[in-house]
Amino acid sequence: MIHVDGLTKNYGNVKAVAGISFDVHAGEILGFLGPNGAGKTTTMKILTSYLSPTAGRAEVAGYDVLDHSLEARARIGYLPEGTPLYKDMTVLEYLNFASDVRGLPTGAGRTRRLRQVVEQCGLGDRLGFLIGELSKGLKQRVGLAQAILHEPEVLILDEPTSGLDPNQIVEIRQVIKDIGKSKTVIFSTHIMQEVQATCSRMLIISKGQIAADGTPDELSRKAQGAQELRVELVGRVEDAREGLTAVKGVASVRSVDPAPGEEAGKDNHHFVVIAQEGQDPRADIFRMATEKGLTLLEMRREKASLEDVFRTLTSGTPGRKSK
């Protein structure tokens, strides 16, 4: 649905986007992550034909964004960062204006479509309000409404949840998820939970280049490298440590304090076991415990959080906001 090939954009001497390539397929919700100034917004502006690339090309729904800009734009719904809307129009006036520009025929069909969108975005009782008088969350919904009303094949949202309160964030995410059932969605954010909660795929970019590409699960596994296990044993501490170290596939063992909320018993010992790369020593640990007469209370794999992934992949990036 979206095809990006060697896309490059320079602002003077600064390379905002440095030759990135990726494809987004129909029905994917792609989370676009990266520190400020990584090139997220610039990439989106190129996809929507607001900026032209310095080199490389991009296609949306089969149309080149440079050569067939109007056709591509007709198939995109876009919500720029900060939700810029005409403050002097009422919600209904604005949605009608957007429908006019998008060439939605007037009449019963449009009324039905507008009613649908207004309900989906929860704007029912605000139609007569001036946009300038709405709260940030409501403005965001108007922005979303104008982006989806022509049923675009591709939806591009630049930080759609920034500056909203937690309830509003959940609501907007739900709307994005609903839309993502049938459309292709790209949205940028720097909130990790958001990606976990909504995306089927994430793309991390840093310094204008793609740092990682995959499902949220894949990426956290990749960043993790070796498996990390948390083990709780009851018995003599020396026995436990020696036993664990002797298990095949274990790289290191270290004692740790109980995690908050875990019981600290006299004979309970907590360990963090790092496995050798590509090894899964869990079965052997269980067997070792039985043989040595130790009681295995708990054993669990620690998952690298997406925050860790993000930090590993993008650390040291200079913060420069692309405008």
Q: Is 162 exposed, middle or buried (0-12, 13-18, 19+ CB in 10 A)?
A: middle
- E-strand stretches of the chain: 2-11, 14-24, 29-33, 55-60, 63-64, 76-79, 154-158, 184-189, 201-206, 209-214, 228-234, 250-256, 268-275, 295-301
User: What's the CA gap between 102 and 12, in Å, rounded?
Assistant: 34
Q: Is 277 exposed, middle or buried (0-12, 13-18, 19+ CB in 10 A)?
A: exposed
Q: Which of 30, 32, 40, 49 binds another protein (CB under 8 A)?
A: 49
88 contributes a contact to another protein by CB under 8 A: yes
Q: Closer to another protein at the Cβ: 97 or 254? A: 97
For tokens 């989106």, name the residue: 44
Q: Which of 28, 93, 151, 308 binds another protein (CB under 8 A)?
A: 93
Q: Are 188 and 44 in contact (CB under 8 A)?
A: yes
Residues in contact with 152: Cβ distance below 8 Å, sequence separation at least 6, in sequence order: 74, 75, 76, 77, 183
298 contributes a contact to another protein by CB under 8 A: no
Which of positions 219-258 make contact with another protein (CB under 8 A)? none
**227: its two tokens:** 């498996």
Q: Closer to another protein at the Cβ: 300 or 323? A: 323
52 contributes a contact to another protein by CB under 8 A: yes
In whole angstroms, the minimum distance from the beta carbon of 153 to another protein comes to 13
Sheet-wide strand order for 250-256: 250-256, 268-275, 228-234, 295-301
Residues in the interface with another protein (CB under 8 A) total 29
133 contributes a contact to another protein by CB under 8 A: no
Q: Closer to another protein at the Cβ: 53 or 216? A: 53
Q: Closer to another protein at the Cβ: 73 or 201? A: 73
74 contributes a contact to another protein by CB under 8 A: yes
Q: Which of 23, 67, 100, 277 binds another protein (CB under 8 A)?
A: 100
129 contributes a contact to another protein by CB under 8 A: no
Candidate ranges 67-75, 160-168, 211-219, 273-281; the one touching another protein (CB under 8 A) = 67-75
Q: Closer to another protein at the Cβ: 86 or 135? A: 86
Backbone angles phi, psi at 22, to 5 degrees: -165, 165
Q: Which of 3, 15, 57, 102 binds another protein (CB under 8 A)?
A: 102
User: What's the CA gap between 5 and 292, in Å, rounded?
Assistant: 59
Q: Are 263 and 196 in contact (CB under 8 A)?
A: no
In whole angstroms, the minimum distance from the beta carbon of 154 to another protein comes to 12
Chain residues in the site for another protein (CB under 8 A): 11, 45, 48-52, 70-71, 73-74, 76, 78, 80, 82, 84-89, 93, 97-98, 100-103, 146
